[in-house]
Structure formats: structure tokens, C-alpha cells
A and B are shown apart, each in its own frame.
Chain A
């Protein structure tokens, strides 16, 4: 599909100059059993891809990256590298780690620009796999399975593939074309990606189980839950993911007004805040129920939001949304326990004016879909999987956000990709045993 190219201002990631690349790539020590590789959830062979940049083997470099991480181009933009590869670089002894993320972006940008063919499909095994969801976990699984010769069909409810990477991350952090290129890489291996199809509504789970040799559930998460407070249905109240999706797709978010209030402290809340600023809102404030150190957004995201002019108020929780003529006019807040329990303190009510309120307090799970497959899940709707990403239902696997506990350190694009790979490997083991 044609996806509108919306940038909302200059990208966060700066393109390295040729000189920067040459100096930085040659500065890498080529460590053995390198800590950067160990720190990468997908185990990208970092010294190898950097060394290939240094010798001008850019296709080899891009292949090294994308082999380990089917969404390596997206990860070069969204990974918290200071906590992963760059945080483990031995040069941290001198506080000057190799700019691994920038180099990874350089190599993958080259592959995108040159339209390089990095991988080919394996000889057909005759086995068929359905993957539900084309986000990082689904794409990673589909890519691996196709390379091993299995016939893969991906079911995607949205009009375009890529999931969160395409729709849920602000374009100046991750342009849609990057995630769409990654999906195209998978499609080029013969994977059929059926977009605009919702499993459980348009397709019967039982039919999938009957038709395919294995099913992989990688549906991610759903809408932002309701706060359950007064005024939540007024005009000007947004689900943060709807808000970002609308803006990224070039849609009309309407009048934001003078003051935008964001409820939440995660990366999506930051994205909604910076997105609001770039859409022209003069005043954007994030309201968070605990101290700043408890915010789940990455440090570099918080720093970026500060640079973009976003303000922060911590230890507050919304009590109700003030509405006039069906439209938001303000927020009534309660202070919370300074100890950080998020417990509201009665009698501390105060009102702040707001023209738009964006909720980013986590996401609901697709428990109904899991139920339709008979897949066990916990009370929050998080699928239960074993170390091989198997669910309780034979031949049904799950990976990605639909299996991650909230607030866990692993709720990242790069982790979803790795879990997708893990699931694919175990599906392959299962199917290959049957081929013999």
C-alpha cells in the first residue's frame, strides 16, 4: 500500500558523515566474544558488521545486522543502545563507546537506499505456517521460517505491515518507510502478508488451526485502557496510540489547543508529547503518578522530550477531566504519596487547564483472541508460553508484546524480534521432524 510519508519535522537520528563513519568504524577494537554482541538481545555480531563497514563491504554489513535482527533497521532508531550494545562497549571505561546504533543505521540505510537483496527463501519443505500480526515478532518469525523453506502467511489487521513500528512510534523517531522496508524484505522471500484481515473476525481461528501446520500469535497489544474517570468521553480526549497513528498517517488530529496534557510516563507517552509539540501545541505537559525515576520511558527519550519543550509533573494522578460543551477544558489532579506508591492523597485536588488530554497508561491485551485459540493467559490477558515460545495448545506458539509482562525490561522491539526468532526456530524444529 502507499503509506503517506509524514515526517513531522527533522528526524532525531542524525546521519553520520562519511568521515564520521570511517573514524568510528575504524575505532572499533573488534573485541573477541564482544560485550556489545552479548548485550544485544538478538546477538548481532557488532564487531563484524562494523568491520565490514570499515572495509567498504556494506552489503555484508547490512546482511550481518539483518540476519541477526530482521527489524535491525528499526532497532537502529529505537533501541536504548546506552542500555544495550553501547552500554556494554569496552570503551565505556573512557566514557566514549563506539556509536554502534549510528553505524547500524548507516549500514541499513545503505541497504534500503540500494534496494539490496540480503536473503533468499530456502528450498520448500511443504509445511505451512500462519503468523498473526506483522509487528517485530511476527515479521522476525516469518522471515526466519521463509528462509528455512516453510510457506508462511501473515495475517495483519491494519492496512500496512509493520505493527507498532509502522503505526505506533513517532515518524521523527522511526519513519514508516523503514518498517515498511523491513516488511518488504520478508514479503520478497515469498511470504504472503494479508493486510486488512483481523483473525477472530474475518478469519476463524479454528480454520487456521486446520489449514496450517503451525500458528504463531504475535498480535502485540491493543488499545489504551480507560481511566474510569469522569469526562473521559469528551472531545479532545485521545488514546495515545490512536493519536500517534493518526498523526503518522497524515490524518487530522483536529484542534489541539494551547495546552496538551499527557497522562503516563512510558515511551508512548513521550511520543504523544513530542508529537503534540511538533503538531504545534505551545504547551505540553506530562503528568505521571510516581517520581521521574520510575518512568518507564528510556532516559534518552525523556531527554529528547525535554529538548522538545515538554514539561513534566510527577506525583499526580487525574481525578476527573473537566468538560464544557462536550469538550475538554481541564484536568483535576490529586497529589500522590511521595513514597512512590501512586496512592492518591485525599484533599489535594487542584485543577490545571487543558485543551487536549492524551492517555498513555499502558495497553490492553487481546485476551479474546487467545481465548478463541484456547491459549492460556494470565488475568491480564498475557499469553502463557514456555521457553520454546509454545503455548498450551499444540502447534500454537506466541511471541512479542502479547507475551511480555508490563513494565518488564524486555518490552522492546529488539526483544520482540528475538522472541519471534526463538518461536520460528522451535516451529522449524517441530515441522522438520515431521518432514523426515
Chain B
């Protein structure tokens, strides 16, 4: 059994799996259930000095084929329950599960006094850290909070500094992806004294339009507004942003990864890309808290199979390999090879290459025979392998000598 415990900017938890600040952490009842199921930490649904009012009809799912909730969009805001109720339940959860991390997400108006007051009141109960919600893209941003703050590096730095003045526990800054380059706000958080960053918050989104009524989805009495998009579909965007922050020397603080993490495999990828903990929401909204048992089991078995003693050892291992395009080896050459024994003759590779790639898969006249790659013209784009429904049927094989490296950057610098 590998050691799954982690420490993020001074916040400890028995495993890296935290619930993100979201509907699953709305109440003590839910967080108790989550801890009973095995979650290592929970970021409480964002607290404010005064509760807000939420609309009804709040979520919408993105279904792809028969797969439901590949993504989800929400227009729910922060907690709509009184601060004192939340604080009492936080204390109860911490008493029942002292080894778990309870991080409290905060949002308030953009004044020093307001932030100090919120921190002060929240520290009347035993919290392990704060997460500043600078990311919520909908609703609160129209009141100058959430993403409205998180899109301005100066405000991020300023508010982080205010919170650090008052807080006695570590402070995480949660970043919005609705920005041109997330490194700027990440650097601002670090400059303001944040102990860690978490990303990504949700992406601006509109889930859909009803083909019968022509109303936007979801709608509130016939109208909708943009929401926050999350779930498996956003994972590649989140992973890129986590990697961008992880390799940026001016950021330089630990990362809690968020965005489409649904199982232990996703978690490992985020950790290799620089996340110390990972936060999950949509997968729980889809399947319930019980999924954490499989995440812990899968991660543990993965580490054991590789003889890795602690999950902390994998954090950031892939980051040095996440480089600029200019540093990629232009001499590296792979081609596709199709295994005729495994091939089921669906010809997906053929038509993909023919219509959308480089016309280098040939079909024998006899349809019973497998397609064949014209290796001389194959550019190694992977498309055929991507569309192939059979695992390992199409292999990408290295064909260059493997002893030379030439990059675009070299070409740029070699020009006199």
C-alpha cells in the first residue's frame, strides 16, 4: 500500500482526492457522507457574509451519443444558506473527521474590510485553509465578484494580500480559465502571498437550445444566462492550464488540479502535470461520493505496480516534457501500422485518412483484407489510431534513426 497522503501549501489530507467547491459540498450532511466514503478533503461551497438567492433550473448536461454528462453547465451561485449554519456544520464535520482537509471557499465584495470580516468569522471554526473563489464565471461576476476579480491580475494580487493579512491558515487562490493566459493571474496570486493555486474553475458556456421551444438550456422562466462548464469535456483545457502554471517559474507555488477528473487515471495525469491534490465535482454529481473508493484503489494499485512508495513522488514528473512547440524534435518520425489480425474491417481508418488526413491508407480490392498503410507517405498524425475502435490494432511505430534532434528554435537561432 503506497502512501497516498499529501500536503498542499501546508494543508494535509490522507489522500489527494478532494471535493471541489460545488453542490456536493453544500452542507454538513453531504460532507459527512463524502468523508465516510473516503474523500481526503472537501472545499466547502463558497461562503459569503450574506447568503444569496439561487434560481431554479440550474444545471444542464452535455450528452454525447449514449454517454450522458460528458460535460455539465451550471448557473447556480454560491451558498444560499446562512453563514452561521455553514460554520456550525463545518465544525461538526471537522470534529467527526479530524484527519480530513476542510478548506472553505470564500467570496465577498471587493473591500479589505469585507474580506477581513469573512476570514475572521470563518476562523471561528477549525478550518484547514481557505480557497478564494476568483473564478465563478456567472452571476457573481455581474456583481464585481468571482471571475470579475479573477480576470484582473492586480485585483487577484490585492485581495490575496488582504486575505493573507487576516488568515491564520493557508490560502489557495482558485483561478478562472476565462482569460487569455492563466499564468498572469497565477503569478499575481503567488505575488500576493497565496500558499497554492487551484484551477480550473468553470468555463463560460451555454449548454444548448431546445429544438422544439427555441429556448436556451437550461432556462429560468423562458430565459437563460451563460453558465459555468465543467466535467470530462473540459479535462484537456484544464490539464494544459495546470501544466502551464506548473512549469512557470514565476508561479512557483503548489497546485490543486481541477477540471473533468472522473477517475484515478485522470488524477494521475493531473498529478504528473503538477497537481498535488485533485478536486472533483461533476463525476460525483453523476455517480455519487462512492466513486472515491475506486479512485483510491486504482491510484494505490498503480503506484504499487510501479514500486512508488508515495504519491507525492509523481507530482510534476511530466512537467519538464511539456515544452514549447519550438523545442520539439523535427527529426522524430512515426508511422501507423495496422495489425491485420486484430483489424475488424470497419475501414474507419481508411476514410479518416482519405478525407481528413494524407490519403495514405490503401484498401485492398478484397474487402475481407485489412487496410494497409503507405508508410512512405504517412505523416504519423495518429488520426487512424484515434478512430480505430480496436485497442492496439493500429500501432504508431518509430521509423527515424533516433539519433538526431533538430528543432525549429535551432533553425531560428542559426539564421545569421
Contacts and interface: CB of A to CB of B under 8 A. Distances in A.
Interface of A: 22-23, 25-27, 29-35, 38, 54, 90-91, 93
Q: How large is the interface on B (under 10, 10 to 19, 20 to 34, 35 or more residues)?
A: 10 to 19
A265 B367 CA distance: 34
A221 B113 CA distance: 95
29 contacts: A23-B66, A25-B66, A26-B66, A26-B67, A27-B66, A29-B346, A29-B348, A29-B389, A30-B348, A31-B345, A31-B346, A31-B347, A32-B346, A32-B348, A32-B350, A32-B351, A33-B347, A33-B367, A34-B346, A34-B347, A35-B367, A38-B367, A54-B65, A90-B344, A90-B345, A90-B346, A91-B344, A93-B344, A93-B390
A180 B65 CA distance: 35
A25 B66 CA distance: 8
Q: For chain B, what secondary structure do more than half of its interface residues adopt (helix, strand, loop), or is it mixed?
A: loop
- Specify the main secondary structure of chain A where it touches its partner: helix
Interface in B341-367: 344-348, 350-351, 363, 367
A114 to B, nearest CB: 16
A386 to B, nearest CB: 27
Interface string B375-411: 0000000000000011000000000000000000000
Given A29-B346, A31-B348, A91-B344, 15 more contacts: A22-B66, A25-B66, A29-B348, A30-B348, A31-B347, A32-B346, A32-B350, A34-B346, A34-B347, A35-B345, A35-B367, A90-B344, A90-B346, A93-B344, A93-B390
Interface string B49-70: 0000000000000000111000
Interface string B140-182: 0000000000000000000000000000000000000000000
Nearest to A30: B348
Interface string B257-296: 0000000000000000000000000000000000000000
Nearest to A92: B344
Contacts of B347: 31-34
B345 to A, nearest CB: 6
B64 to A, nearest CB: 9
Contacts of A54: 65
B251 to A, nearest CB: 41
Nearest to B363: A33
Contacts of B367: 33, 35, 38
Nearest to B349: A32
The interface centre, meaning the residue of B66, B345, B346 with most chain A CB atoms within 10 A of its CB, is B346
A23 B67 CA distance: 9
A72 B97 CA distance: 64
B69 to A, nearest CB: 14
Interface in B322-350: 344-348, 350
A187 B390 CA distance: 47
Chain B CB count within 10 A is highest, among A29, A30, A32, A91, for A32
A91 B344 CA distance: 8
A29 B345 CA distance: 11
A23 B345 CA distance: 22
A215 to B, nearest CB: 38
Nearest to A93: B344
6 tightest A-B contacts by CB?
Answer: A32-B351, A26-B65, A26-B66, A32-B347, A90-B344, A31-B346
A32 B352 CA distance: 9
